[in-house]
Amino acid sequence: MRREPILNAVLMVLLLAVPLWAHLTDEPFTITLATRAVIFAIAGVGLNVALGLGGLVSLGHALFFGVGGYAMGILAFHAQTYAPLIDWPMTIEGTKSMPVIWLVAVVASAIAALGIGALSLRTTGVYFIMITLAFAQMFYFFAISWPAYGGEDGMSIYVRNGFPGLNTMDPIQFFGLCYGLLLLVLFIVWRIARSPFGLMLGAARQSQARAQALGQVPYRLYLTAFVISGAITGLAGALFADLNRFVSPTMFSWQTSGEIMVFVILGGVGRVFGPVAGAALFIVLEHSLGGLSEFWHIYLGAILLGVVLFARGGLYGLLAGRERAHD
């Protein structure tokens, strides 16, 4: 049997076992760390659709992470202040229900990805990197200067949003929700990667001219991938905001974009489960190195540099060998 599926299984079991063990030994902080890892993993899996499958180096995925976060923040803010979101043409109230918030976050970030993707994908290469980065920065500054939802200070949501039948304030139950969503997202992305669309996207990544010769329009393939990618990252943003019960412009910052990309790279670009490994490794590093030194970003930078220069496949490349070229 190939090593990659085994690695996937071990990873997912570990990611479930650690918080369960922490729950039994009553260590809620570890559960929160695991929840962070799972949420970051969802964001990374989202970026991986654009980056790994489509070869689109987006340095602006914080934008969708932030849009998801603010979707949650704005809806919950209106629910907790009992002020309707809009009065006209019909009254729309805020909500504290997670499924509704998730839906809004996914739709809002998909729309954002459609608009920004349609513009950015007119260019390729370095232009695309710079433009995605710039658009994310635009949202960052907008969030800072728009005072209605906290401006620079962000806003706090006092009680975590609810999910029917669950007590989301219980760390392990909230973790379970996020873990379930991660499984769902992984399944969807795995299906996409093997669908005719996913295969065509991979073909366009490897050779745009050949995809065109087969009658495909690369722009459309890329845009679809970018929208799916943005929507998944938006979902992660909503979950992250709910985990912290706090949203702030930091979610839009370029550091966030960089970190989401780091999850993908540490794990291994283009592998469906790669970002999960990367996000878990990131949290472990943050926790262990963060305890070691106040300046742990130096070590993170050094590790990242080492991975990029010497171990290009990331964790999966090291453990599971080279990616298979054919199915």
Partner 1 sequence: MSTILLIEQTLNGLQFGVMLFLMAAGLTLIFGVMGLINLAHGSLYMVGAFAAAGVAAWTGSFLLALAASLIAAALAGVIVEMLVIRRLYDRDHLDQVLATFALILIFSEGTRWVFGSFPLFLDTPDWLSGTVMLPFGIEYSRYRLAIILVGLAVAAGLFWMIARTRIGIRIRAGENDREMIGALGVNISRLYTLVFALGAALAGFAGALIGAIQTVQVGMGEPVLILAFVVIVIGGIGSIKGAFIGAILVGLTDTLGRFLLPVLFGLVMEPSAATTVGASLASMAIYILMAGVLLFRPQGLFGARAT
- What is the helix (H) or strand (E) element at residue 124, kind and residue range? none
CA distance 166 to 183: 18
Nearest approach in angstroms of CB 281 to partner 1 is 15
Nearest approach in angstroms of CB 305 to partner 1 is 4
Tell me which residues touch partner 1 (CB under 8 A): 51, 57, 59, 119-120, 122-127, 129-131, 133-135, 137-138, 141-142, 144-147, 254, 258, 261-262, 265, 269, 295-298, 300-302, 304-305, 307-309, 312
Nearest approach in angstroms of CB 97 to partner 1 is 29
Give the contacts of 291 (CB within 8 A, at least 6 positions apart): none
Residue carrying structure tokens 């970026």: 47
- Closest CB to partner 1 among 171 and 314? 314
- Looking at residue 247, what DSSP letter applies? E
- Go through 72-110 and write b for each residue having 16 or more CB atoms within 10 A of its CB, e for each that does not: bbbbbbbbbeeeeeeeeeeeeebbbebeebbebbbebbb
Nearest approach in angstroms of CB 51 to partner 1 is 7
- Closest CB to partner 1 among 90 and 126? 126
- Closest CB to partner 1 among 210 and 312? 312
> Closest Cα partner for 260 from 233, 287, 296?
233
Nearest approach in angstroms of CB 287 to partner 1 is 17
CA distance 269 to 254: 20
- Closest CB to partner 1 among 85 and 289? 289
| Partners of 97 in beta bridges | 162
Nearest approach in angstroms of CB 123 to partner 1 is 5
- Closest CB to partner 1 among 75 and 269? 269
Q: How much of the chain is helix, strand and coil, in % rounded to 5? A: 75, 5, 20
- Closest CB to partner 1 among 31 and 266? 266
Collapsing DSSP to helix, strand or coil, 160 comes out as coil
